[in-house]
């Protein structure tokens, strides 16, 4: 499954990727004006409006002996998309593991297991409130789909140039980190010297009695 997704994102099959990408963008664009139920019902009607006349045409040709009675969509009917018991169990385990990991991570963040991670989550959620005012979730989903299909293709076409830019950014980040660490080391007060050990008391000699 993951390999098929990567094949789509990296445009290894131009026809399939173009069809999937166009369908996703058009479908999401339609959701701005119509409900999901309306889109799905009209999509189903459109498919049936094509397949039903074709099937009736082949059936009519068979009746007048102009066809051998072959089904026009038999290749699609013969495709096996059923899941075996092992596949079902494996997928269920992956879904349960993903849900459990998400719940554990959210619990850790919301109940302040790590102060820094919870502060980062607070900042992200605060920024998302402003994003929600300017746009909606559907726009973000469409933007994500466009970026998911565009960035891998752009990276494949401009791989050398992008790698040079990434290396330059890494060097800039490393130099900035070194400068910040150096400034922090100058500003940070030196550690207090350890107290010197007190000298051991000298034993007093007893005076001799006469």
Token match 């008391």: residue? 201
Determine which of 42-46, 71-75, 109-113, 118-122 has the lowest per-residue pLDDT on average: 71-75
Largest CA distance in the chain: 149
- Report pLDDT for 210: 46
Q: Please return the burial class of 201, using the count of CB atoms within 10 Å of its CB with bins 0-12, 13-18 and 19+.
A: exposed
| Residue 100 counted as domain residue | yes
Domain that holds residue 127: 83-134
- Claim: this prediction has a pTM higher than 0.85: no
| Residue 21 counted as domain residue | no
| Residue 151 counted as domain residue | no
| Residue 118 counted as domain residue | yes
Return the higher-pLDDT residue of 1 and 165. Answer: 165
- Alpha-carbon distance 203 to 210, whole Å? 22
Q: What is the pLDDT of residues 8-53, one digit of tens each?
A: 888 888 888 888 888 888 888 888 888 888 888 988 999 999 999 9
User: How many domains are there within the chain?
Assistant: 1
| Residue 65 counted as domain residue | no
| Residue 108 counted as domain residue | yes
| Residue 41 counted as domain residue | no
- Alpha-carbon distance 139 to 35, whole Å? 15
Kindly state the tokens that stand for 125.
């959620």
Q: What is the pLDDT of residues 180-191, one digit of tens each?
A: 887 777 776 666
Task: Give all strands (DSSP E) within 14-58, no chain letters.
Answer: none
Say if CB 34 and CB 43 are below 8 A apart: no
Provide the sign of the torsion angle of the four alpha carbons 170, 171, 174, 177, taken in this order.
Answer: negative
């Amino acid at each position: 499954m993951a390999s098929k997704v990567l094949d789509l994102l990296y445009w290894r099959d131009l026809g399939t990727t173009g069809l999937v990408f166009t369908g996703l963008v058009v479908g999401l664009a339609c959701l701005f004006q119509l409900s999901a139920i309306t889109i799905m019902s009209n999509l189903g009607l459109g498919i049936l409006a094509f397949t039903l006349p074709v099937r009736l045409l082949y059936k009519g040709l068979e009746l007048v002996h102009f066809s051998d009675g072959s089904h026009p969509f038999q290749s699609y009917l013969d495709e096996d998309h059923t899941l075996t018991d092992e596949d079902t169990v494996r997928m269920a385990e992956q879904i349960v593991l993903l849900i459990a990991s998400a719940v554990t991570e959210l619990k850790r963040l919301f109940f302040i297991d790590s102060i820094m991670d919870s502060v980062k989550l607070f900042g992200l959620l605060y920024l998302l409130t402003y994003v929600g005012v300017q746009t909606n979730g559907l726009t973000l989903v469409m933007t994500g789909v466009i970026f998911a299909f565009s960035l891998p293709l752009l990276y494949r076409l401009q791989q050398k140039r992008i790698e040079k830019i990434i290396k330059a950014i890494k060097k800039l980040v490393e130099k900035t980190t070194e400068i910040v660490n150096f400034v922090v080391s100058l500003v940070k007060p030196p550690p207090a010297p350890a107290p010197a050990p007190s000298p051991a008391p000298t034993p007093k000699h007893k005076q001799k009695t006469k």
